[in-house]
Amino acid sequence: MARPWVFPVALDPGSELPIFLQISRAISSDIRRGRLRPGAVLPGSRSLARSLDVHRNTVLASYRELKDGGWVISAQRSLRVSEAIPAQALRAPPRTRAKGTTGFDLVPSRLEPDMPMPDARSRLPDGGFPDLRLVPVDLLARAFRRALRAKTKSPLGYGTGRGSVELRQALAALLSEMRGLACDEDDVLITSGSQMALDLVARALVRPGDVVAVENPGYPVAWDTLRLAGAELVPIDVDRDGLRVDQLSALAATRPLRAVYTTPHHQFPTTVSLSPARRIELLDLARPRRIAIIEDDFDFEFHYASRPLLPLASADDAGVVIYLGTLSKILAPGVRLGFATGPRPLLDELAARRARLDRGNPAMERAIAELLDDGLVRRHARKMRRLYEARRDALSEALERELGRVLSFDVPAGGMSLWLTVDPKVDVEAWQQRAHAKGTAFITGRTFDFHGRPRPTIRMGFTALDERELRDTVRRMRAVL
């Protein structure tokens, strides 16, 4: 069903300018500023006359004026904005103007505005996204309907700052049984995604000027979040054993270190796991200095070789680890459910801050709690783990076969992407641009470098596409190399 056409213009009957010209000039102004795009359909004359409370002949006169000026054309039994309007007649809308034209200073982001999002049809593989075609929509819909019909407190009302007790209980059970954390529902905070959890932690923990260590290469979104809280970020290198704890120790010996943000299970973006020895060293370093370890465990379920390594939080006996997780990778990003665990005084503060920003989605939280209690989420995760392992292997084989002369990599023990090293003779940035122009995209290492320096590396996801699509993607990459 077509949406009603909204035309926000204030007509002035007392103006010397006739009403039909007020209408035509308002529409041409909307075309110039980009609100009405080339090809956009205008409403019928009767419909617009009713919405503006004017005579239909007034609207017809306005449309004739616009046609005479070349702003609109008649096409396919409708009136449309002309696609032949000269570019110099059009202005970029305020939200899309070039850098430097806003009326206030912005905090610069290191993210690329055109970082590809997953879409199997356009072959845009990106690590960290599940295959949304495989989401158990029917199960989720049934659970959501039952949550809406529950005879408890209205599921359509506001939630609490901590999140629904049902979901906190279900997550506490999962974290205790599967990830080795000793916690109950009072040790869990629900958030609208793990990024909200990190934002709450950063604002509660970091004072302007506090030093926070981050992994390099690492996660630019997390860097921006920490910077917005006032942190001074210091990059720490990552090697085959994960975060360089020796560099972190050297930093802590010379400067007061407030926190370290780390992804130890499958490091983002390299996928390496923090070695057992370094895990011990990191906890030993943080314990006496009261350095907060922000552990982002975004894809725990997807470990393919033996059992997953337990989180740092499972071995934390000093209350220095703040553990963040999400259900987005198991189900879908649109579910918007993340969580945090940590010392209870911190969780109390996070809950108070969340309550001022977001009161959650009680119906969705109860629906997911039901799926967790029934074991459906775990069964779905097991199914996805088998599928994703097969996809990892299919992508690895295709890369070896088609591009083995210019790419080298280790098949990761877990995660949702591959980290590829590119032959130095290949201009990886030019390769990316050519691939993107042909509908196939990948992300180069420069995006994940703390200083924005070029790196001869590529991050390539394998979970959002099936095996045939992955093989086709690699052939496309080879064709444009």
Q: In this predicted model, what pLDDT tens digit does every residue of 154-174 receive, in sequence order? A: 666 677 778 888 889 989 888
* CATH number assigned to the domain comprising residue 255: 3.40.640.10
Indicate if 69 and 206 belong to the same structural domain.
no
Structure tokens at 146: 């039952």
* 204 lies in the same domain as 241: yes
Q: What is the pLDDT of residues 257-282, one digit of tens each?
A: 999 999 999 999 999 999 999 999 99
Whether 233 and 335 share a structural domain: yes
* Residue 224 maps to a domain: yes
Distance (Å, whole) CA 450 – CA 138: 42
Calpha distance 342→463 (Å, rounded): 30
Q: Are 87 and 228 part of one and the same domain?
A: no
Number of Cβ within a 10 Å radius of residue 214: 25
pLDDT score, position 6: 56
Domain membership of residue 86 as a residue range: 19-94
Among the ranges given (93-107, 112-126, 130-144, 396-410), the one the predictor scored with the smallest mean pLDDT: 93-107
Task: Please give the residue that has the higher pLDDT: either 454 or 126.
Answer: 454
- Final residue of a structural domain among 374, 409, 428: 374
* Neighbouring residues of 22: CB distance < 8 A, sequence distance ≥ 6: 9, 11, 12, 15
DSSP 41: B
For the ranges 103-117, 245-259, 289-303, 324-338, the maximum mean pLDDT occurs at 245-259
Residue 89 within any structural domain of the chain: yes
Q: Check whether residue 84 and residue 173 sit in a common domain.
A: no
Say if residue 363 is in the same domain as residue 335.
Answer: yes
Cα torsion for 429, 431, 437, 439, to the nearest 10°?
-110
Tell me the C-alpha distance between 325 and 331, whole Å: 13
* Within a domain: 439: yes
| Token pair in block for residue 236 | 């720490």
Q: What is the pLDDT of residue 212?
A: 97
pLDDT (0 to 100) of residue 333: 74
Greatest mean pLDDT range, 46-60, 181-195, 252-266, 324-338:
252-266
> Is residue 48 in a domain?
yes
Domain boundary among 345, 374, 403: 374
- Sort strands 321-326 and 292-296 into parallel, antiparallel or unpaired: parallel
Coil, helix or strand for 329? coil
**351 and 406 part of one domain:** no
- Of the pLDDT bands very low, low, confident and very high (cuts 50, 70, 90), residue 182 is confident
Provide the 8-state DSSP code for 87: G
In this structure, are 125 and 142 located in the same domain?
no
In angstroms, how far is the first alpha carbon of the chain from the final one? 45
Q: Please list the alpha-helical segments (H only) found in 290-375.
A: 344-357, 362-373
CA 132 to CA 466: how far, in whole Å?
11
| CATH code for the domain of 34 | 1.10.10.10
Q: How many CB atoms lie within 10 A of CB 10?
A: 6
In this structure, the answer to whether residues 157 and 266 fall within a common structural domain is: yes
**pTM, to two decimals:** 0.75
Same domain for 191 and 240, yes or no, is yes
Q: Can you tell me whether residue 407 is helix, strand or coil?
A: strand
Q: What is the mean pLDDT of the chain?
A: 84
Please report whether residue 363 resides in a domain.
yes
Is the bond preceding residue 269 a cis peptide, omega within 30 degrees? yes
Residue 370 pLDDT > 50: yes
Does 157 lie in the same domain as 52? no
409 in a structural domain: yes
C-alpha–C-alpha distance, residues 267 and 243, integer Å:
9
Domain at 462, CATH number? 3.90.1150.10
Residue 8: the pLDDT is: 61
Residues 324 and 214 occupy one common structural domain: yes
Q: Is the pLDDT of residue 120 over 70?
A: no
Last residue of a domain, one of 374, 393, 420: 374
193-203 burial, b at 16+ Cβ within 10 Å, e below that, comes to bbbbbbbbbbb
How many domains is the chain built from? 3
Those residues with Cβ within 8 angstroms of residue 376's Cβ, 6 or more apart along the chain or in another chain: 136, 139
Looking at the domain assignment, is residue 9 inside a domain?
Answer: no
Q: What is the pLDDT of residue 154?
A: 65
194 located within any domain? yes
The more confident residue out of 267 and 371 is 267
Q: Which of 416, 391, 408, 407 minimizes the C-alpha distance to 477?
A: 407
